[in-house]
Structure 1
């Protein structure tokens, strides 16, 4: 016979074991859960509740955006029929949407359940384009000598790794030659190991050290968040500042941001921001960044990002980065330059992009900036991207046609 109370003890033990197993499962699958609909509408506006963060402080006196709201009756053709912006928002799970024309905020809406002008949105790889802006500023400041600096000259602990050789220019153009598969669905891919290191307390540096060389630096486009991670580390080493502090001083204050932004940090120590994917900011402050890029890096007569750096971000003559030349897994309407995606057409428009549908679309010739944040159910979706590009092109064409 069992001693009295054993049944209750065994049941309690089983319950504890079940809770522990459930907690372990949640820990292992936290990334999948956080990015799945409909939960991602909450997580993409509440990353500060999930991860450690570093604040990008706003200035005491924000630079007001000129508001000139008016109807934006735009239609676009996709999949054989005419669609409206309301169709776009429904089909592509828009959470925030803003349009600047000639420096004025002409349209703004927040279809997301947790979205508002005050919300800070997880930008994923749109962060890379902001990192590029900071690199351009650092070069102008003289704290970075030039784009021909090697990564290892600033990060000597990378000596002997595959990142011993690529230059800042190679990193900016996603042409380091380091083998890295940006596959968000494969749990065995290098990206999955990187993600687990970020969220699970592991070592990002250890993941980086494990990567082999696949091509001569500067010769092949291979989209890699680790290239941008190294670029962010180079920037921190050169400036002696964290990404958050440097972004606050050299971008958020000069553009007159109205909200603090923040980078989420790795759980493992030493904690680090992700130069390729952890910035969270408001839609309006993203629009301010886009306006800065549309105006050649200047606002109200103040040159914030060097004009030549903005032009470099609009395209390059390197053939492997041309629109349509990035490979079979990349939509043919994109090229790449300087941590920005270039788009086909004589206007030389360009955009920052983040997985799950984040866009900062800049058309300097039309003086149009469009911000779109989204909560796609999957990281990459060529169909939703094609529809979004069709819609954003239509917005630009509509506003360009205004007298």
Structure 2
């Protein structure tokens, strides 16, 4: 219903504006690090590793619904650069704003963490990793004695001494995302001994990097080649992606800097909904989908300053619940800094892919709800 785009939200909904999820945190901004998040366009002057397009890209049909003025205005107010909504593989809406087009490469931010996690699932199915409860130290000896397992990394419950603080100039996050050499963060791990692994959720882009380097150890390949072979090509990517790397070490930044098109973001969503079941084991799939598959749980209200009880976290993926057309629905997918969103709602077999400059002004939940209700009502 179009009035969703115009009416004020309730106080509880407005409170969602302060939620900072998936590589988002508070802190004073720095002009030096501003480019990490505000300028998400692909910068040809950077240093990147390419993920080549698939030789058999997933088909992408023309959208069938008109982008009316209310929708476009709503998207502009929320700094959205691209929006794709589909029912199954049937594309219902495809919209580009602010100079974006189907060939624009845009930083997926933390969404690449979900891709790395899915590659861990592939490694498990192939037997390269024996169990989610295998100690990471078997592949990365510097973690010996830490007690950290692959499960702890996949669920963001490793007890790392690390705070996700991308706006703080001297933070480990900025080092991870911008330094020419961030290897000390992984080679000389620092642990928080105030809690045991597996007892506390703590979102960390450093976890993505540790998983990435664990994968490189078991496959004896660079991460970009692993993701290309295990995720990018199987999902049928239509364009080449570019992944930011550290100049000195040529190491990909696993949880940041993967630039892809909106259509390939949508293709990733469809892959995670369908074909992923052919590439990872059923238990791994269930853990990625959380309560949608009868697994996982939603967060307790006081569990983390970064999340709300509307959200939960599985094996490298986020899940969320919200009212839609008069009923509670749940979805799963991935989110990244600045409003990057990829979500599948099984109840309606709908997939939504969003590339944006900032988090929606009234929160992701209300944004997703408004867009999907608009589409469903246009369908009649």
User: How do 1:115-154 and structure 2 match up within 5 A?
Assistant: 115-154=100-139
Question: Structure 2-normalised TM-score?
Answer: 0.81
Q: Which has the larger radius of gyration?
A: 1
Structure 2 distance, partners of 1:87, 1:330, is 28
Match of 1:90 in 2: 76
Match of 1:394 in 2: 370
Q: CA deviation at 1:123?
A: 0.8
Structure 1 distance, partners of 2:300, 2:288, is 13
Structure 2 distance, partners of 1:306, 1:386, is 37
Cα 1:397/1:217, change in 2 over 3 Å: same
Structure 2 distance, partners of 1:395, 1:308, is 31
Q: CA deviation at 1:324?
A: 4.2
Structure 2 distance, partners of 1:103, 1:33, is 34
Paired residue for 1:362, among 344, 359, 370? Answer: 344
The question of whether the paired residues in 2 share the 8 Å contact of 1:123 and 1:280 is answered with: yes
Paired residue for 2:58, among 53, 56, 63? Answer: 63
Match of 2:86 in 1: 100
Structure 1 distance, partners of 2:300, 2:290, is 9
Match of 1:256 in 2: 236
Paired residue for 1:183, among 154, 165, 170? Answer: 165
Structure 2 distance, partners of 1:152, 1:344, is 36
Match of 2:25 in 1: none
Cα 1:217/1:117, change in 2 over 3 Å: same
Cα 1:90/1:325, change in 2 over 3 Å: same
What is the CA RMSD across the aligned residues, in angstroms?
2.6
Match of 2:6 in 1: none
The question of whether the paired residues in 2 share the 8 Å contact of 1:323 and 1:336 is answered with: no
Q: CA deviation at 1:289?
A: 1.3
The question of whether the paired residues in 2 share the 8 Å contact of 1:120 and 1:281 is answered with: yes
Q: CA deviation at 1:172?
A: 0.8
Deviations 1:21-69 (A, max 9, x none): xxxxxxx954224544xxx2xxx2224x243211111222323223342
Number of residue pairs matched by the alignment = 341
Structure 1 distance, partners of 2:53, 2:333, is 24
Match of 2:357 in 1: 375
The question of whether the paired residues in 1 share the 8 Å contact of 2:108 and 2:260 is answered with: yes
Question: Structure 1-normalised TM-score?
Answer: 0.76
Match of 1:277 in 2: 256
Paired residue for 1:239, among 214, 219, 227? Answer: 219
Structure 1 distance, partners of 2:171, 2:233, is 39
- Of 249-258 and 390-399, deviating more is 390-399
Residue 46 in structure 1 maps to residue 42 in structure 2: yes
The question of whether the paired residues in 1 share the 8 Å contact of 2:154 and 2:316 is answered with: yes
Match of 1:6 in 2: none
The question of whether the paired residues in 2 share the 8 Å contact of 1:193 and 1:207 is answered with: no
Higher relative contact order (CA 8 A, sep 6+): 2
Q: CA deviation at 1:287?
A: 0.8
Deviations 1:203-237 (A, max 9, x none): 33247626332420000011111111101111121
The question of whether the paired residues in 1 share the 8 Å contact of 2:288 and 2:315 is answered with: yes
Match of 1:15 in 2: none
The question of whether the paired residues in 2 share the 8 Å contact of 1:232 and 1:243 is answered with: yes
Residue 32 in structure 1 maps to residue 34 in structure 2: yes
SS in 1 for 2:347: coil
The question of whether the paired residues in 1 share the 8 Å contact of 2:63 and 2:94 is answered with: no
Q: CA deviation at 1:323?
A: 6.2
Runs of 4+ in 1 over 4 A off after TM superposition: 316-319, 397-403
Cα 1:233/1:207, change in 2 over 3 Å: closer
Q: CA deviation at 1:400?
A: 5.6
Cα 1:227/1:385, change in 2 over 3 Å: farther
